[in-house]
Structure 1
């Protein structure tokens, strides 16, 4: 069958709108009106009629379809109900469509099936029949604005292939292209070249009203439009000119960070939301001002670099790690990668290494959450010599320089884990952390918050940063033992679980401690460690815990059992590489350092929680809510004078400024990895490459944890998980999916400990699609997640 266009058959009843002015109607009416006006796209011919017309004279309705030459081919029968595609509600996908229909009998059955999917008396609702488009090479959905925020980015979700419903059904990997008018020429795929023109023409026809449409690309250079509907509940919250200025400001800030300068090395940088200290996971990609400023002051302004210098890395003190693009937190990877170069290497070698690391991330951005395992050589392990040899093959280093790097990393790593080394010093410091050492100042709570912040940095986040570094080193060592065949993956997992962690202890405590004792120990935790609006465990315990739990989880770990052959082989490798430790000592360090990092989180977050609690109380005493205070930069709180009315005025001003700034932040979209300034006006978000945990498989209902769904026996969906979500594991979750997080993230560790199949860091777009599925299957061994709910027919 040949594709045919612009041949429309009108219903027996006359259309109400016969003028050239465009307005939305039912799906069929909208397409019919659009066909008379649009020039940049094509529309398939169609016939539509109402349920009443079908009931009164179905033979006449069928004759109207078969009077067209295109009816001899494959047809599609689609709903055209008054309850869908409306101004107030789209009900997208609620009613059925039937594909691949041929002949009178199949068409009759399909029409009856579609009408039967309507609710109640739908005598005025319609079905439409069209030829099914042939030779499709790509299809998707385009929104004129970002549906969540109303920001003026055009959002194109598309997939290659012949399945025209692949995007809407969620059955295929989907790419997403965001572009502003200024970036419309940066097209990610030639097949999408005509889309910006279609959007521009429809925006004129719709007189600026937000809309979305479904399309397919075939042999015709113009896209075929299947559907046009209002984008319900969306409006531009920021004037377009104000948004343009904000984007221009982001470009200026990003350009300024691209200027080379010591102590950083490399001539350029790449910005990312996850390569180091993972702000996407810990505070989210659009944190409110208080969360962002607190995270920066406690970790990424100074502490991160001071800790690395203490551990033997290049001195980056004085260089902030986070680049703030109007509230979007990005990691400066040039600073991050420079800070992971051993201090003993000379300037020239360091520069070439960091140049290579940055260039690799620019060329392979999907590695942004795996940089220390796939790009950067930051510690010594049993695969380090081979990886250093690869740098020689790529002409990054000479053979002698590669040996220098290997030796420097070996010395750094051995020093790190040695008796009285920085790891043991940090572990002792975190164990001695005492919150009660600070006395409250009733007259000036600002001074109390300053003292909390300073002590948290000195005794909390600084030693924690060291423990986190040691845990990364341990994980790399363990992975290398699997790569070299010394251990299987299951044996490597048993190393990690041989030492009890705070999670396993929490399970045991929930079963054995009284409610009061349990909350004294864990009550400071909260989902969203840096989020003042997130209730602590002890503020809303019923939300988080099932107090009827009686069966304890073992808290003494699992016995680590390796064969004499494996231990002997590992000892030979250690002797060959001149390690001053034996196999049992190394394996114990690996297990204990991972547990120590989690213990460090439990300890320093007591200070973070107390800071947030104190800020909330300060706000309440001046008439402001926790939500109000979430818009205040931390410096606005710590700089208060203690004079009630003057401070109240300053807080009010800070709240208003923060809300205005956050409105801009919410309107901005940018890629997870920003390697080109042009990415701020046009970028593609590829399908997420998930990090799978365990070898298990599960099929279970989804639970949107942030929305309050009960996660028990469900696949817990958590966008940006952090330690405060530990409570979900006491509820018996069946599986876990997160938008952000890496193979060594908090939630990955938790899932691995408990044997829960998980897909960590699947990407925002994929996460949102799976979040809408009622049932998901996670097959971690096969590295896949797919919708598992079964239904009849396809949804339109």
Structure 2
């Protein structure tokens, strides 16, 4: 019943079965398993004849797979991938007949020309996966290989197993990450030639002797590159130049090499995303990572990195220069040779363990004193990173630095006073856009907002490190630590309680400036679109806050003795009070400086309105260009309009670039494997619930809220009573981690882009924070919109 296909005829996409039949007669770099297919009409008219046809084949005695091959499935108009049923592990005539009936029943249109495809099932595969001929989101010229090891050949599409993703550019000889994948580039090239450049993807399996088996090929629908290959190549060359320049040794950032990452230190992936618009990127740099970050650390007693930018801009992709970061975490009095050796060791450790890029201070760098610092410093001496004398000096300086942070007269108290002064500043808004006001808002936000916030965040990190070390030495349990850290009374934690009690106007007066995407002008504030975020017809669900931590007399005595041993101030209640206060202070300061960031964006949007430009238009403009305008309306309008177009073209380049979360050398710009994510689990709770794509508009109530990068503007989700939280980016000290801990919500923070994307496809998930598990769950509830 299969029609004969002339191998000399040009290739064209047909149904799944028709496409495979064509390829079986022409493909050289892979094999297509034997096959038979027939239509629904043929089955209905003569089911015995269809069964006889299949059972007459010698391969029918093996285990079979019965697959859909519908009209409109895997076509040039639509893929409908996974829409219809496939039945595996089919053995015998009766089972075959039942599988065929099940596949036909899965067709949601009663079309007699739909087809059923029967093949032997590939057994004992060593790997399987899916390959795209270009990056599906942008059409950029990367081959994208998603694969998993093992004999089950539907693991990638089913989402049941850990999946690795390899990106490589179509030109040149890519570095192949696993020997089993050796045959894939040749197959992609051959299919590219056969399809005459039409974007496609295919599913494959690989046998023990590394033969590639082709399961299906389908066109990628509505995928076209937005920039030329020449422009893409030029951007890659520029990125390579920037990386090489960043690696050059400088007098301030120590060492001969660096590692770039999207999540270390100030974590741009979480705060502005991995492909921010130019305005968001320039704001983040101007308010924090160009100068403020280093100035704050210098004030707290660390090495002077003022004048060194922390963020490296790879044609719009934001990365943290970890050499600068590590250098800035060295106590200022430490001698030059010791500091240089320490930073070189930190960078090498990160290069060896790139999965720690969101945990560099917990897992690699010694940046404050806690109850395990002496042992860690001794290990540095034992391995030759530091001399014994330098090791003792490092411990001494970290101890003094930490005591200074906790001191009533130290920089932490000064920054807390500054944050409170910022809270008292009004934001009276004139009737029309004011360039002078915009410039002043940026100045105030930088000097009185992000600068003290940077210091308060440093204090909160120091406090968290101390708590973790109390767990490590056995004086606190993990539950004790969660309750201690979660007991901080922050302004944002009050939002859930106040949602149901405050009048709407008063609630929005307090929290209305917040927006998902703090630096994104396109995102409406709470007070600009309250119905988008809040359901005013319902009361907020009661907060399930963990019971407050109350240390026992035994714990207080043991902590006091520990403090005495470590030459720290001997007041355990003061120490625990500092922990709670510093975490609350960080969140308080964040709320205050975000008022000014939000107002800056309002002022920029008003500027665009007077020039006939939308918020989307203004998202392409650099903040420095705006604050550098002359105040001459005609000239300013022309300047900004030109900047919008340049920014738009530049952002098309940004969208076309793919790069790893951690860049060790420029060669990774052309071939890399996405990192396995090691999530930061928060609380000891467990939840099984449907998933909700929050950015996609799903209602998060009673769901596992899925957010790619969740900054404070996403706090509205907690008024909806979410069951759990998963983010692609973020660390154990991120805002969302703190909020989940406060409310006792199980959360997996910073799971990585690939795992997040895979779990987002699931209808329901289990998040078991205590067991550090996220996995698909069987739950009979639909995804809600």
Aligned to 1:321: 310
Q: Does 1:40 align with 2:29?
A: yes
Aligned residues: 780
Aligned to 1:654: 643
Question: What's the secondary structure of 1:42's corresponding residue?
Answer: coil
Could you tell me whether the CA contact under 8 Å between 1:500 and 1:555 is conserved in 2? Answer: no
* 1:400 Cα offset (Å): 2.0
Aligned to 1:794: none
Give the distance between the partners of 1:271 and 1:99, measured in 2 at CA: 44
What runs of 5+ residues in structure 1 fail to find an aligned partner? 1-9, 792-796
Could you tell me whether the CA contact under 8 Å between 2:303 and 2:329 is conserved in 1? Answer: yes
Q: Could you tell which deviates more after superposition, 399-408 or 262-271?
A: 399-408
Give the distance between the partners of 1:544 and 1:659, measured in 2 at CA: 29
* 1:707 Cα offset (Å): 1.4
Question: What's the secondary structure of 1:224's corresponding residue?
Answer: strand
Could you tell me whether the CA contact under 8 Å between 1:482 and 1:488 is conserved in 2? Answer: yes
Q: Does 1:590 align with 2:579?
A: yes
Aligned to 1:698: 687
Give the distance between the partners of 2:75 and 2:547, measured in 1 at CA: 58
Q: Does 1:533 align with 2:522?
A: yes
Aligned to 2:374: 385
* 1:374 Cα offset (Å): 0.3
Q: Does 1:310 align with 2:310?
A: no
Aligned to 2:747: 758
* 1:413 Cα offset (Å): 0.4
Could you tell me whether the CA contact under 8 Å between 1:443 and 1:642 is conserved in 2? Answer: no
Question: What's the secondary structure of 1:158's corresponding residue?
Answer: strand
Q: Does 1:422 align with 2:414?
A: no
Could you tell me whether the CA contact under 8 Å between 1:183 and 1:678 is conserved in 2? Answer: no
Question: What's the secondary structure of 1:48's corresponding residue?
Answer: strand
> How does 1:179-258 map onto structure 2 within 5 Å?
179-182=168-171, 184-258=173-247
* 1:222 Cα offset (Å): 2.9
Counterpart among 777, 780, 791 of residue 766 in structure 2: 777
Give the distance between the partners of 1:137 and 1:414, measured in 2 at CA: 56
Give the distance between the partners of 2:541 and 2:757, measured in 1 at CA: 34
Give the distance between the partners of 1:18 and 1:35, measured in 2 at CA: 9
Could you tell me whether the CA contact under 8 Å between 2:546 and 2:744 is conserved in 1? Answer: no
Aligned to 2:722: 733
Aligned to 2:349: 360
Give the distance between the partners of 2:483 and 2:778, measured in 1 at CA: 34
* 1:392 Cα offset (Å): 2.1
Could you tell me whether the CA contact under 8 Å between 1:175 and 1:684 is conserved in 2? Answer: yes
> How does 1:462-611 map onto structure 2 within 5 Å?
462-550=451-539, 559-611=548-600
* 1:210 Cα offset (Å): 0.3
Question: What's the secondary structure of 2:333's corresponding residue?
Answer: coil
Give the distance between the partners of 2:36 and 2:416, measured in 1 at CA: 74
Distance 1:127 1:551, change over 3 A: closer
Aligned to 1:6: none
Q: Could you tell which deviates more after superposition, 158-167 or 429-438?
A: 429-438
* 1:176 Cα offset (Å): 0.3
Give the distance between the partners of 2:471 and 2:165, measured in 1 at CA: 36
Task: Please list the CA deviations of residues 125-149 of structure 1 after superposition, one character each: whole Å capped at 9, or x if unmatched.
Answer: 1111111112200000000111111
* 1:512 Cα offset (Å): 2.2
Question: What's the secondary structure of 1:538's corresponding residue?
Answer: coil
CA RMSD of aligned residues (A): 1.7
Aligned to 2:435: 446
Could you tell me whether the CA contact under 8 Å between 1:440 and 1:448 is conserved in 2? Answer: no
Which TM-score applies when normalising by structure 1? 0.96
Distance 1:551 1:681, change over 3 A: closer
Give the distance between the partners of 2:603 and 2:232, measured in 1 at CA: 35
Could you tell me whether the CA contact under 8 Å between 1:499 and 1:556 is conserved in 2? Answer: no
Aligned to 2:290: 301
Distance 1:665 1:556, change over 3 A: closer
Distance 1:278 1:482, change over 3 A: same
* 1:789 Cα offset (Å): 3.5
Aligned to 1:279: 268
* 1:581 Cα offset (Å): 4.0
* 1:498 Cα offset (Å): 2.7
Give the distance between the partners of 2:115 and 2:546, measured in 1 at CA: 63
Counterpart among 743, 757, 761 of residue 732 in structure 2: 743
Task: Please list the CA deviations of residues 226-248 of structure 1 after superposition, one character each: whole Å capped at 9, or x if unmatched.
Answer: 00000111011111121111111
Counterpart among 316, 319, 330 of residue 330 in structure 1: 319
* 1:83 Cα offset (Å): 2.4
Give the distance between the partners of 2:570 and 2:626, measured in 1 at CA: 49
Question: What's the secondary structure of 2:576's corresponding residue?
Answer: helix
* 1:41 Cα offset (Å): 1.0
Distance 1:275 1:571, change over 3 A: same
Distance 1:434 1:756, change over 3 A: closer
Give the distance between the partners of 1:707 and 1:657, measured in 2 at CA: 29
Aligned to 2:783: none
> How does 1:153-168 map onto structure 2 within 5 Å?
153-168=142-157
Give the distance between the partners of 1:85 and 1:437, measured in 2 at CA: 58
Which TM-score applies when normalising by structure 2? 0.97
Q: Does 1:262 align with 2:251?
A: yes
Could you tell me whether the CA contact under 8 Å between 1:146 and 1:152 is conserved in 2? Answer: yes
Q: Could you tell which deviates more after superposition, 297-306 or 106-115?
A: 106-115
